[in-house]
């Protein structure tokens, strides 16, 4: 076993054309790499190290060998080659939002794309090229200027790269599919430092795997997406009493599969933050909520929302606004530096049993930052053939996420317990796998179920493009033997 690992390490050194003989990311290796890149190479002795190693989830406290703040494709190529030459592992970081903290690793070279945020919109072809370090805030800002958008996440600080490669669920999913359904092409630095483009014509097997296989296949330096006309939307949130949750859930389940595709909506549990639209004496109370986004004619919005209001609304904030405004509206609930522990499952219809499980655990939500969302998987997602991309649960009806997020590490145990208990209660009413982008770090053993029907095909593509599993800090796909 050890001999095999040694051989693989030697092979990887031989294939890399630089930094031969270096044993680890020591001062010399860091200096050499700094000579080859335009960005900063930050080693453990650097005053910037603690800032550079920090990721969004404050529970993650890893000490990588060095962090490269890449400024372009050349830096990424040089970094991958340097890591291969020294034999140290590589962690790739886009927007840094991975809950298990996959954007860093103990002793690894972190390739941080956070400086690579260039975007070019082509309004004539309704496409956009965006670098791998962009956030959805960057992306929506750039495309909104042209009255265009594509499916992204619901929080503006999340990275486009990690989110897209795993799936991409958001307000526009029902109308325009998952984020990955809108990818036309991707530029990728592979495990040997070579550069390829993947699309339907070139490296089609890689293109298939990138769309659902997460960060397993290489570093995506640039994505090309399809865009759609979306300018102003009508959206926001309505709060209902906890005891009305069964009615709200049943109404949602009845309506959402065939509702107009201009409607994005998801169910949530939420402790009321101290916001002006919520009566002051209800601040801090727990509610169930519907979050909505209507991209159709504004005058039709209320009609579209009506079936989602089967019970009295206690408080609501719904307004006409630019799409990027809704994308940033809830950012304040999830600032950087919270502790995160999440679990997720795909599910079918909201049966009585599932609703009972939600009612038993949802109202116990411990803090204002935490939540549980039930996202619809339907509409345009179901227009795409199940085998067209590597996304393994296209036929699911819902993606459920129990997102534990809290500020005080002293509360870790109680918050983690809430997530685990809720998840266990939903398990009998869920599919085996969950959305890879919502899973916790202790879910590594569920990778096959999470990738679902495509896991074996993913393993074959992994064996072709990354046989030594260089890109392994992710929901890992084991290369086929
Ligand atoms: C507050 C919050 C809100 C969220 N909202 C949504 C949502 O609305 N919809 C949704 O679908 N998901 C959502 N997510 C989940 C999100 O999709 C994942 O956390 C995703 O991994 C974030 O991507 P990132 O680039 O920010 O993460 P990072 O931590 O930078 O990276 C995560 C993973 O992606 C890989 N990766 C990152 N960049 C690249 C790249 N350029 N090339 C190759 N691999 C790369 C890394 O290897 C790593 O495995 C949310 C997460 C958080 C914390």
Instruction: Name the residue with the closest Cα to ligand 1, atom 23.
Output: 162
Question: Which residue of 162, 198, 441 sits with most ligand 1 atoms within 8 Å of its CB, as the best mutation to test the pocket?
Answer: 162
Tell me the CA distances in angstroms from 167 to 32, 50, 160, 448, one per residue in order: 37, 31, 10, 16
Atom of ligand 1 minimally distant from the CA of 55: 29
> pLDDT, tens digit, for every residue of 204-230?
999 999 999 999 999 999 999 999 999
Please state the three-class secondary structure of 255-301 as a single string: HHCCCCCCEEEEEEEEECCCCCCCCHHHCCCEEEEEEEEECCCHHHH
Cα-based angle 12, 48, 411 (whole degrees, multiple of 5):
95
* Position 95 confidence tier, pLDDT thresholds 50, 70, 90: very high
Who wins on pLDDT, 180 or 7?
180
CA distance 61 to 67: 14
Name the residue with the closest Cα to ligand 1, atom 45.
215
pLDDT tens digits, residue range 144-199? Answer: 999 999 999 999 999 999 999 999 999 999 999 999 999 999 999 999 999 999 99
| pLDDT beyond 70 at 290 | yes
**pLDDT for the residue 3:** 41
Structure tokens at 372: 């549980």
List the residue whose alpha carbon is closest to atom 36 of ligand 1.
162
Condensed to tens digits (0 to 9), the pLDDT of residues 17-58 reads 333 333 467 889 999 999 999 999 999 999 999 999 999 999
User: pTM for this one?
Assistant: 0.95
> Where does residue 410 rank: exposed (0-12), middle (13-18), buried (19+ CB within 10 A)?
exposed
Task: Give distance in angstroms: CA of 135 to centre of ligand 1.
Answer: 10
Tell me which of 129, 135, 163 to substitute to probe ligand 1's pocket, judged by most ligand atoms within 8 Å of the beta carbon. Answer: 163
pLDDT at 6: 44
Q: Report, as an integer, the average pLDDT of 263-276.
A: 97
- Average pLDDT, integer, range 128-143: 98
Residue 443 pLDDT more than 90? Answer: no
Residue 4 has pLDDT above 60, yes or no: no
Residue 283 confidence (pLDDT) above 80: yes
Sign of CA dihedral 377, 378, 380, 384: positive
Q: Nearest C-alpha to atom 16 of ligand 1 is from which residue? A: 163
**What percentage of the chain exceeds 70 in pLDDT?**
95
Residue-wise pLDDT tens digits, 144-157: 999 999 999 999 99
Mutate to test the pocket of ligand 1, among 55, 75, 90, 97 (most ligand atoms within 8 A of CB): 97
Average pLDDT over residues 11-18: 36
Whether the Cβ atoms of residue 79 and residue 68 lie closer than 8 Å to each other: yes
Distance CA 431, CA 427 (A): 8
Neighbours of 343 (CB within 10 A): 26
Q: Where are the alpha helices (DSSP H) in 156-228?
A: 160-166, 173-176, 204-210
Q: For the ranges 15-24, 88-97, 125-134, 352-361, which has the lowest average pLDDT?
A: 15-24
State the average pLDDT over residues 444-462: 95
403-425 average pLDDT score: 97
pLDDT the model gives residue 24: 65
Express each pLDDT in 345-357 by its tens digit: 999 999 999 999 9
Bridge partner list, 347 = 398, 430
Do the Cβ atoms of 456 and 213 come closer than 8 Å? no
Whether 418 shows a pLDDT value over 70: the answer reads yes
Q: What is the DSSP string of 108-162?
A: PEEEE-TT---EEEETTTTEEEEETT-BHHHHHHHHHTTTEE----SSTTSBHHH
* CA of residue 77 to ligand 1 center, whole Å: 21
Nearest partner of 373 among 432, 437, 311, judged by Cα: 437
Residues with CB under 6 A from ligand 1: 56, 92-99, 102-103, 113, 132, 153-155, 158-159, 161-163, 165-170, 214-215, 219-220, 334, 437-438, 473-474
Angle at 97 between CA 100 and CA 292, to 5 degrees: 115
Mutate to test the pocket of ligand 1, among 59, 161, 217, 419 (most ligand atoms within 8 A of CB): 161
Q: Which helix (H) or strand (E) holds 167?
A: none
Question: Average pLDDT, stretch 368-394?
Answer: 97
Q: How far is the CA of 455 from the centre of ligand 1 (A)?
A: 20
Q: How many alpha carbons fall within 13 Å on the CB side of residue 115?
A: 17
What six digits make up the tokens of 430? 């869920």
* Residue 87 structure tokens: 């034999």
Q: Is the pLDDT of residue 14 over 60?
A: no
């Amino acid at each position: 076993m050890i001999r095999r690992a040694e051989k693989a390490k030697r092979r990887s050194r031989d294939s890399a054309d630089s930094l031969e003989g270096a044993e680890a990311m020591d001062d010399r290796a860091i200096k050499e790499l700094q000579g080859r890149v335009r960005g900063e190479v930050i080693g453990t002795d650097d005053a910037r190290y603690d800032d550079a190693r920090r990721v969004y989830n404050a529970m993650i406290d890893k000490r990588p060998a060095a962090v490269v703040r890449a400024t372009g494709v050349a830096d990424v190529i040089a970094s991958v080659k340097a890591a291969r030459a020294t034999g140290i592992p590589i962690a790739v970081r886009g927007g840094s939002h991975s809950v298990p903290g996959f954007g860093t690793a103990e002793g690894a070279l972190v390739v941080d794309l956070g400086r690579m945020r260039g975007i070019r919109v082509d309004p004539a072809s309704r496409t956009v090229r965006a670098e791998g370090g962009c956030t959805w805030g960057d992306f929506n800002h750039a495309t909104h200027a042209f009255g265009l958008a594509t499916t992204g996440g619901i929080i503006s600080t999340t990275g486009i790269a990690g989110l897209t490669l795993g799936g991409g669920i958001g307000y526009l999913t029902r109308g325009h599919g998952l984020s990955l359904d809108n990818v036309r092409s991707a530029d990728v630095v592979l495990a040997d430092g070579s550069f390829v483009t993947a699309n339907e014509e070139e490296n089609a097997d890689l293109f298939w795997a990138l769309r659902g296989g997460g960060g397993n296949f290489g570093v995506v330096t640039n994505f090309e997406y399809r865009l759609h006309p979306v300018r102003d939307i009508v959206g926001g949130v309505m709060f209902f009493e906890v005891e009305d949750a069964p009615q709200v859930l049943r109404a949602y389940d009845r309506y959402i599969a065939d509702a107009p595709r201009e409607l994005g909506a998801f169910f949530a549990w939420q402790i009321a933050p101290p916001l002006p639209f919520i009566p002051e004496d209800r601040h801090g109370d727990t509610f169930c909520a519907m979050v909505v986004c209507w991209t159709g004619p504004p005058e039709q919005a209320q009609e579209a929302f009506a079936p989602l209001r089967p019970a009295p609304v206690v408080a609501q904030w719904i307004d006409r606004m630019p799409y990027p405004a809704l994308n940033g509206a809830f950012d304040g609930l999830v600032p950087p530096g919270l502790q995160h522990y999440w679990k997720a499952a795909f599910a079918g219809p909201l049966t009585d049993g599932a609703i009972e499980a939600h009612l038993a655990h949802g109202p116990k939500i411990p803090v204002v930052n935490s939540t549980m969302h039930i996202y619809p998987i339907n509409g345009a997602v179901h227009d795409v053939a199940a085998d067209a991309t590597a996304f393994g649960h296209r036929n699911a009806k819902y993606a459920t996420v129990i997102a534990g997020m809290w500020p005080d590490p002293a509360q870790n145990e109680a918050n983690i317990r809430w997530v685990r208990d809720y998840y266990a209660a939903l398990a009998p009413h869920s599919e085996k796998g969950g959305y890879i982008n919502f899973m916790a770090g202790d879910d590594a053993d569920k990778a096959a179920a999470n990738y679902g029907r495509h896991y074996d095909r993913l393993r074959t593509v992994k064996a072709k493009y990354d046989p030594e599993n260089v890109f392994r800090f992710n929901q890992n796909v084991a290369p086929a033997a």
